[in-house]
Amino acid sequence: MTGIVIVGASGRMGRALVEAVIETEGATLVGATVRPESTLSGTDAGELVGKGRMNARVVNSLDAFADRQPVVIDFTTIEATLQHLAWCVSNAVPCVIGTTGFSAQQEAVIQAASEAIPVVYAPNFSVGVNVVFDLLDRAARVFGDSVDIEVLEAHHRHKVDAPSGTALAMGRVVADALDRDLEKVAVYGREGQTGARPREQIGFVTVRAGDVVGEHTVLFAADGERVEITHKASSRRTFANGAVRAAIWASQQNAGLYSMRDVLGL
């Protein structure tokens, strides 16, 4: 049985993670954390999601769980995630990271941490999205330079980074398959007299509106036809279930940096 702690349990994703742990065979909810100013501190994590008391404390610090050696799942903010990751290294426990928007320098910190503990870091923990990554690689290699490629994504109004980590990951999969440097060919929105579109460009379109959980489409467009590969998430439980699956898997691994593709054996 894998003991799991959820950080940031008061948020929408945090609550979905708590519920997913409770309902997943092979996982047990050790507890959860919230910000110091939260009024939820001192409650039971099961009560946050209407599951009743689970003997899983909601506290302000991971220190309360040091003696339990849990796997930590973190879908919070960049700064908070790096702090939690440092705690995991200090306490020799695995960490599952679903936070996105890290800079290259911050990703280097994650890489360094993975030399001491198992770290599963992924832009998207949905099983379906990770299957889509494989489909995109295959499509890009077949089409080659014969198509224009655009990545379209939509999320709820509260998402703070753009494009989404998943959209960027999709762009990287396509760019790698075509032997292109995404940093050089990516275009993030267009305005004004842009001129004709160079074939090597990979465009990104971002929508932020309402309560959209997450939608991604990669468009391969040629003269006379186009192919669209799309993934739509209708519930955060999609990502939460994958993260819990990753936590159980990480508990059995040696130190290293892993992706959801590793978890799924893709």
Between CA 152 and CA 155 the distance in angstroms is 11
The residue length of the chain stands at 266
Between CA 143 and CA 169 the distance in angstroms is 19
Neighbouring residues of 116: CB distance < 8 A, sequence distance ≥ 6: 89, 92, 255
Q: Measured in Å, how far apart are the chain's first and last C-alpha atoms?
A: 25
Cα atoms found within 13 Å of the Cα of residue 252, Cβ hemisphere only: 10
Q: Is there a catalytic annotation at residue 184?
A: no
Give the active site residue among 84, 156, 158, 159.
159
- Looking at 24-96, list the stretches that DSSP marks H as alpha helix, in order from N- to C-terminal side: 45-48, 78-91
Q: Is there a catalytic annotation at residue 232?
A: no
Give the active site residue among 155, 158, 231, 232.
155
Closest of 157, 162, 51, 169 to residue 121, by C-alpha: 169
Backbone angles phi, psi at 260, to 5 degrees: -65, -25
Q: Which residues are known catalytic residues?
A: 155, 159
